[in-house]
Amino acid sequence: MNGLPRHLSIHVGGFILSGQPLSQIVPIENGRMEDRTVIQWSKDDVDAMGMFKLDLLGLGMLTVLAKAFALIPPAQSLTLHNIPPEDKPTYEMICTADTIGVFQIESRAQMNMLPRLLPKTFYDLVIEVAIVRPGPIQGKMVHPFLRRRRGEDIEYPHPKLEAILRRTLGVPLFQEQVMRLAMAVGGYTPGEADQLRRDMGSWRADGRMERHRTRLLEGMRKNGLSPEFAERVFQQIQGFGSYGFPESHAAAFAHLAYVSAYLKCHFPLELTCALLNAQPMGFYSPAVLVSDLKRHGVDVLPVDVQHSHWDCTLDNRSLRLGLRQVRGLGEAAGRAIERAREAGQFHSIEDIANRAALPSRTLVPLAAAGALASLHGRREAMWKASGTARPLGALFANTADRTDTPRLPELGVAEALSLDAAYVGAFAHQHPMELSRAALAKRGVLRACDLALAKPNRTVTVAGLVITRQRPESAGGAVFLTLEDETGLADVAFSSEMFLRFQEVIRFSGALVIRGRLRADGAARNVAAASVATLTLESDARVSSHDFH
């Protein structure tokens, strides 16, 4: 049974084109989805028959860019195709790894690479997109490339490889280079090199790559290449099965990376607003996106039923959070509030309930999110909302809550932040770490922004909310975390042994305090953890983290 299809499935964007009715060539059956059909052959059989198969995939960043362009003043008239090329401020921003929200280069691995590779041209960005991939990493090509980019002499293993590898400093990074290398020094014909490309993605499943191993290594040996280089090339080819880029694919992605980086550099408000309105997508939660925007000097206004639309909007060069941010509200209720407000401002919670036909189950999240603050204090609004509903039927259309409100204490800052985390998923006013900063400073805990000025190889202590947890296959079991405080992000690395020892704390704590050695590679900084503990915050505020994806 090994290697046989496990089940029948539909590719989300797969099409097969034929010169005659497809039903005359291959058996077709109805799919489970309405108006969908699926062929009964596997994709490999389609390939073997020489049929034309086309995969069309959607990218959420295209939606983001379309929304961002719509928010930019018409006088700018920016599109995907007329963004000013090679913009120096954009590349300066990229080199500092200020890329939260930027397509493809916002992951922690990419942000760690950016200050080391220092992209300054579009082709540098093409390489950046492609180099943080299993293929180059498993093939041990990353460090040789970085050393050569910093000035190490470039040596080509064979004269025939110079033309193939010149643009990537003698290091093969792309699928096309592997194919040309196989032809130049491996004895492959063009057809055999194309079969090698096809087999790159199949070695895990059925061992197809093993049939190339002996021939490739022997061919490279005969052409005078060292066994070490030949083995690294083969490891990289195997790595492409985990996801390696052709150069054309990397260039297309680099274009979107550059466009989104340009918008972040020159139009951060519009880009962040578009990102929030395109959720769920991307690497970071709305809380991280909002905090990043605030660190760039843009004011963020809270959700407010008197001003917020369903989507987030621009409000006098500030970001107004939309009703979509209120967890438990739902778009139908949010749109109902928009329509009801067209007749004028709301005067009370009962007025909202009646005009927008909202039951208490939607009023309570609004109150808890602080969206009713213009009408009542937050705690009072929660009390009133819990007893205010618009009963069904015309007889009760104007029924209001007649329950007397008791004298309620004001909501504290820590409680407000906890509610922001639970019901909004973002912090418009303060970051939770600000409340603990004085106590942390007394313990010698550095802020994220202090790491850039700290001396490498010294022992440091950092703390923050956990926003990412990653355990890449190519890292030998090491685990990487990102902490966020009110000043920025701090990267932390755990050895596999330490992760196994403290995994309960590392995996399930919303905030951590970590002590370890500060490591530096160029401008890139990370902390090699030596101890870790749960950080108890004054507010019970947790944010969504990007974990092990």
Q: Tell how strand 524-534 and strand 488-494 pair up.
A: parallel
| Predicted confidence (pLDDT) at residue 158 exceeds the cutoff of 70 | yes
pLDDT tens figures, 483-528? 999 999 999 999 999 999 998 999 999 999 999 999 988 778 899 9
Question: Averaged over 333-356, what is the pLDDT?
Answer: 92
| Predicted confidence (pLDDT) at residue 399 exceeds the cutoff of 50 | no
Note if the bond before 21 is cis, omega within 30 degrees: no
Q: Tell how strand 313-315 and strand 459-470 pair up.
A: unpaired
Fold of the 286-424 domain: DNA polymerase; domain 1 (1.10.150)
Strand-pairing partners, residue 460, are 516
Residue 158's Cβ-count burial label (10 Å; 0-12, 13-18, 19+) is: middle
What percent of the chain stands above pLDDT 70? 92
Q: Which residues contact 185 (CB under 8 A, 6 or more apart)?
A: 158, 160, 161, 219, 220, 223, 225
pLDDT tens figures, 85-137? 999 999 999 999 999 999 999 988 898 899 999 999 999 999 999 888 776 77
Q: How confident is the model at residue 224 (pLDDT cuts 50, 70, 90)?
A: confident
In this prediction, residue 405 carries a pLDDT of 65
b (16+ CB within 10 A) / e for 33-54 = eeeeebbebeeeebeeeebeee
Identify the CA nearest to 132 among candidates 57, 242, 262: 242
Homologous superfamily of 432-547 in CATH?
Answer: Nucleic acid-binding proteins (2.40.50.140)
Question: Averaged over 173-192, what is the pLDDT?
Answer: 85
Sequence ranges of the chain with CATH classification 1.10.150: 286-424
Q: How confident is the model at residue 202 (pLDDT cuts 50, 70, 90)?
A: low
pLDDT tens figures, 405-435? 677 888 888 888 999 989 999 999 899 999 9
In this prediction, residue 404 carries a pLDDT of 63
| Predicted confidence (pLDDT) at residue 394 exceeds the cutoff of 50 | no
| Predicted confidence (pLDDT) at residue 397 exceeds the cutoff of 50 | no
Q: How confident is the model at residue 319 (pLDDT cuts 50, 70, 90)?
A: very high
Question: Mean pLDDT, the chain, as a whole number?
Answer: 86
For the entire predicted model, the pTM comes to 0.85
CA distances from 402 to 128, 155, 389, 392, 409 (A): 63, 84, 11, 17, 21
Q: Which residue has the higher pLDDT, 311 or 1?
A: 311
Sequence ranges of the chain with CATH classification 2.40.50.140: 432-547
Token pair belonging to 112:
């760690």
| Predicted confidence (pLDDT) at residue 393 exceeds the cutoff of 50 | no
Question: Averaged over 223-250, what is the pLDDT?
Answer: 76
In this prediction, residue 475 carries a pLDDT of 67
Question: Averaged over 194-203, what is the pLDDT?
Answer: 70
Question: Averaged over 445-457, what is the pLDDT?
Answer: 91
